Amino acid sequence: MMLFKALRKSGLARCKFPFRFTSCVANQKYDYDLVVLGGGSGGLACAKEAVEYGVRVLCFDYVKPTPVGTKWGVGGTCVNVGCIPKKLMHQACLLGEAVHEAVAYGWNVNDQNIKPDWKKLVKSVQDHIKSVNWVTRVDLRDKKVEYVNSMGYFVDAHTIEYKTKRGERMQLTAEYVVVAVGGRPRYPSIPGATEYGITSDDIFSYEKEPGRTLVVGAGYVGLECACFLKGLGYDPTVMVRSIVLRGFDRQMSELLTAMMTERGIRFLSTTIPTAVERLPDGRLLVKYHNTVTETDESDVFDTVLWAIGRKGLTEDLNLEAAGVKTKNDKIAVDQTEATNVPHIYAVGDIIYGRPELTPVAILSGRLLARRLFAGSTQLMDYTDVATTVFTPLEYACVGMSEEMAIEKLGPENIEVFHGYYKPTEFFIPQKSVRHCYLKAVAEVSGDQKILGLHYMGPVAGEVIQGFAAALKSGLTVKTLLNTVGIHPTTAEEFTRLSITKRSGRDPTPASCCS
Ligand code: FAD
Ligand code: NDP
């Protein structure tokens, strides 16, 4: 890799043979070595890595406005309508809590009714996003990735067409194409859904205060949005079709639900929406159906936010023209991220059956570029990807849930170490510690290899990130308990896990230092 970067600097890497691993004869036939469709986390990572090896790269990025007209700049979901604005809103909530805690710590905060200014928050968030958009464009220019702000679609397996700003149709050819078009929020097929509802694509730039909000869906997006709305002083209700956080550890999901309920977030269980109507005063009447009690009810909200999952953006790509097969609205790939058409690849959220997370998209895009243009053989490892749900007490995990471990190895082969804990900093403001809990799911025999780690508490993402590397390196319970903690932190609780579920002992601690 270093050799390629050095060659590029010297200009030698622009000479296609013998420095490139791909066929120089084939390459001469095409306008570009690589065209990337989609300038989000995965597409940009792939494009920027590829140019490091001296190849000619072009990246398309285009955002279709939402039904209420929201649109944004280059960088994809994470930067514009995902991780980044969400983390900023989450931080705004944590700061709101911190202001109240500060009083207990002796700060003289004169106005106890301190309130956030939604418009000001939205503006700050949007200003930051615009600065990231700008830096991204400059970075692409500096790195010599050609960027076209248009929707690209296939004409044949090597030809991409797009429209210029003046409406002219242009075509270009590429040796390799990487599809990194990501997804967009789904809307339910019920009356009023698109007319009156918004999604995560709109909320971070929503000019109107959200007010009383119905959040439909209990996945990552639904729970995170409900929590930041509550933290900012609004009144969210979460509508749950089946279970909260499908696919996650059940005990942790239930604990998360209890934590949110304690904070005043209402859950409407086993319920689906059936219609949304606008009332004369502008508020929204939502009709819904409880699938267990078989009853129909309705309620009035200021905002309805659909968080019912995301749909892959395959529709506009004209994939049939290239012969690329889809699976539902996604693209199935092999372990090299190749589609059924060998020179067409896919990375990020558009891949069928892979985690929809930014670091996954970035690493798979980068590794793909290295394999295509720098002779690497390293494949993306999609196992044991750590993740965090950014609720006020965050939940982070890596590896298997308790259920998954039991299913794979059998209950007799699993040992679960667990414990509640009391963060030192919670004592003075008397914050609830009821949901501060962690567990390690391990093999029962030998040094007890750890299969999964789960943590609910402050800065969960920061805590689990380091343990994720340890887990990928074969962490055992023996090693964990031989690790000296950093005191007084909450992460050190992992090094003090001594109670197994099997023992039936009480996992509640007596004090902070027991
Ligand atoms: P995207 O980032 O979606 O980029 C695809 C780009 O391609 C988009 O700009 C799209 O408009 C464009 N495009 C589509 N079709 C075409 C076309 N034909 N031609 C040109 N351009 C096209 N992940 C985390 O890891 N941590 C988080 O905290 C987190 N929070 C999230 C919060 C929310 C509310 C949401 C919705 C998602 C969150 N995610 C988070 C997920 C993360 O945003 C995605 O996994 C990630 O953005 C996927 O990257 P991607 O490159 O596959 O697609
Ligand atoms: P999810 O698929 O995680 O959740 C969708 C939710 O909507 C589920 O509760 C589902 O219920 C429900 N639902 C689906 N269809 C309907 C319907 N027709 N009516 C009512 N409810 C319905 O999608 P999200 O949009 O929350 O998140 C998408 C992805 O984005 C995540 O998988 C994650 O990878 C990524 N993300 C990551 C974040 C992070 O890292 N912190 C934050 C936000 C998003 P049911 O269980 O019954 O199907």
Structure tokens given for 24: 């120089």
Residue 4 scores a pLDDT above 80: no
Ligand 1 contact via 136 beta carbon (within 6 Å): no
Pocket test for ligand 1, best of 60, 64, 83, 186 (most atoms within 8 A of CB): 83
What residue type is assigned to position 199 of the chain?
T
Kindly report whether the peptide bond that precedes residue 65 is cis, defined as omega within 30 degrees of 0.
no
- The whole-angstrom separation of Cα 198 and Cα 440 is 38
> What is the location of CATH 3.30.390.30 in the chain?
387-496
Tokens 């902070």 identify what position? Answer: 512
Between CA 344 and CA 372 the distance in angstroms is 11
Neighbours of 454 (CB within 10 A): 26
The number of angstroms, rounded, from the C-alpha of 489 to the middle of its chain's C-alpha atoms is 26
Instruction: Tell me where in the chain the CATH 3.50.50.60 domain(s) lie.
Output: 2-62+149-184+311-373, 186-308
What pLDDT, on the 0 to 100 scale, is given for residue 291?
98
Both tokens assigned to 500: 């197994």
Ligand 1 atom with the shortest distance to the CA of 151: 19
Residue 242 beta carbon below 6 angstroms from any ligand 2 atom: yes
From the alpha carbon of 78, which atom of ligand 1 is closest? Answer: 43
**For ligand 2, atom 46, which residue shows the shortest CA distance?**
246
**Distances in whole angstroms, Cα of residue 87 to Cα of each of 91, 205, 397, 466:** 6, 14, 18, 20
Strand partners, 398: 453
pLDDT given at position 510: 62
Distance in angstroms (rounded) separating the CA atoms of residues 390 and 358? 15
Task: Find out whether 315 and 153 touch, Cβ atoms under 8 Å.
Answer: no
Shortest-distance Cα residue to atom 38 of ligand 1? 82
Q: Which ligand is nearest to the CA of 203?
A: 1
pLDDT at position 17, please?
31
4 strand-pairing partners: none
Mutating to test ligand 1, I would choose from 88, 181, 356, 364 the residue with most ligand atoms within 8 A of its C-beta, which is: 181
User: Could you report the per-residue pLDDT of 198-229, keeping only the tens digit for each?
Assistant: 999 999 999 999 999 999 999 999 999 999 99
Instruction: Kindly state the tokens that stand for 116.
Output: 């956030």
Q: Which residues, at least 6 apart from 461, have a Cβ–Cβ distance to it below 8 Å? A: 386, 388, 390, 394, 396
For the cut 90, the answer to whether the pLDDT of residue 484 exceeds it is yes
What average pLDDT does range 156-175 have in this prediction?
97
From the list 100, 418, 435, 487, the catalytic residue is 487
Check if 245 has its Cβ closer than 6 Å to any atom of ligand 2: no
pLDDT value at position 11?
38
Ligand 1 site, residue 62, Cβ cutoff 6 A:
yes
Regarding the beta carbon of 152 and ligand 1, being less than 6 Å apart is answered yes
Q: How confident is the model at residue 27 (pLDDT cuts 50, 70, 90)?
A: low
SS3 414: strand
pLDDT in tens, 305-322: 999 999 999 999 999 999
Is the CB of 187 inside a 6 Å radius of any atom of ligand 2? no
| pLDDT over threshold 90, residue 110 | no
Q: Provide Rg for the chain, Cα atoms.
A: 25
User: What's the chain's average pLDDT?
Assistant: 94
**Torsion sign, CA atoms 482, 487, 492, 498:** positive
Q: Is 181 in the pocket of ligand 1 (CB under 6 A)?
A: yes
- What's the CA gap between 514 and 509, in Å, rounded? 7
* Average pLDDT for 356-385: 98
Sorting pLDDT into bands at 50, 70 and 90, what band is 178?
Answer: very high
Backbone angles phi, psi at 300, to 5 degrees: -110, 135
Ligand 2 atom nearest to 220, measured from its CA:
26
Ligand 2 centre distance from Cα of residue 460 (Å)? 20
**C-alpha torsion angle, residues 364, 365, 371, 372 (rounded to 10):** 150
478 pLDDT exceeds 50? yes
Which of 221, 330, 357, 456 to mutate to test ligand 2, by most ligand atoms within 8 A of the CB atom? 221
**Ligand 1 atom at minimal distance to the Cα of residue 347:** 52
Is 19's pLDDT higher than 50? no
Q: Cα(50) to centroid of ligand 2, in Å?
A: 32
Task: Please identify, by atom number, the ligand 2 atom nearest to the C-alpha of residue 388.
Answer: 41
At the topology level, CATH places domain 2-62+149-184+311-373 in FAD/NAD(P)-binding domain (3.50.50)
* Residue 487 annotated among the catalytic residues of the structure: yes
Give the distance (Å) from ligand 2 centre to CA of residue 258: 19
Fold of 387-496: Enolase-like; domain 1 (3.30.390)
Percent of the chain surpassing pLDDT 90: 92
pLDDT band at 15 (very low <50, low <70, confident <90, very high): very low
- Ligand 2 center to 307 CA (angstroms): 6
Instruction: Please give the pLDDT value at position 514.
Output: 46
Q: Quick check: CB of 87 below 6 Å from ligand 2?
A: no
* pLDDT value of residue 9: 40
Q: Quick one: which ligand is closest to 245's CA?
A: 2
User: With contact defined as beta carbons under 8 Å apart, do 369 and 51 qualify?
Assistant: no
- Does 448 contact ligand 2 (Cβ within 6 A)? no
CA distances for 21 relative to 4, 12, 27, 174, 414, angstroms: 11, 14, 11, 16, 47
Cβ of 272 less than 6 Å from ligand 2: yes
pTM of the model: 0.94
Q: Estimate to the nearest angstrom the gap between the alpha carbon of 348 and the chain centroid.
A: 11
139 φ/ψ angles, rounded to the nearest 5 degrees: -60, -45
pLDDT of 24 strictly over 90: no
Provide the pLDDT for residue 348: 98
Q: What is the pLDDT of residues 413-461, one digit of tens each?
A: 999 999 999 999 999 999 999 999 999 999 999 999 999 999 999 999 9
The pLDDT value given to residue 28: 78
Q: How crowded is residue 205: how many other Cβ atoms within 10 Å of its Cβ? A: 18
Domain at 186-308, CATH homologous superfamily: FAD/NAD(P)-binding domain (3.50.50.60)
Nearest CA, atom 8, ligand 1? 76
Q: Which of 215, 257, 356, 389 is the best mutation target for the ligand 2 pocket, counting ligand atoms within 8 Å of the beta carbon and taking the most? A: 356
Ligand nearest to the CA of 270: 2
Q: What is the mean pLDDT of residues 73-95?
A: 98
Across the range 501-512, mean pLDDT stands at 85
